[in-house]
Structures are given as structure tokens and as C-alpha cells.
Amino acid sequence: ETAIIAHNELKLEVATLCSAQRVEKRAREKLGMDFPHKDQLIIIR
């Protein structure tokens, strides 16, 4: 049973990573988005 729980947790992690990667890929390809450069960041404290 422990192995089944671990397997299910890993499946969820893979699905989450795939989803995040898919969103990032679409943002880059379809919307032309990218991560900001250091000079584009404003740190608010």
C-alpha cells in the first residue's frame, strides 16, 4: 500500500510539472512572453 501511495504521488507530480511546462511553452510561443531580465525587476519591500 505504501508503494501505491508513493506511485500516486509521483503521478500527480508528473502531471503538475507537465502542466506547468505546457503553460510556459504556450506563453512563450503563442503570446511571446518570457521571463523578465534583471533590469526589468522592481523589488518592493
Which tens digits make up the pLDDT trace of 1-45?
999 999 999 999 888 888 888 899 999 999 999 999 999 999 999
pLDDT at 6: 94
Positive or negative, the CA dihedral 10, 14, 19, 23 is positive
Distance of CA 19 to the CA centre of its chain: 7
Contact 37, 43 (CB under 8 A): no
Cα–Cα distances in angstroms (integers) from residue 25 to residues 1, 5, 11, 12, 33, in the given order: 36, 30, 21, 20, 9
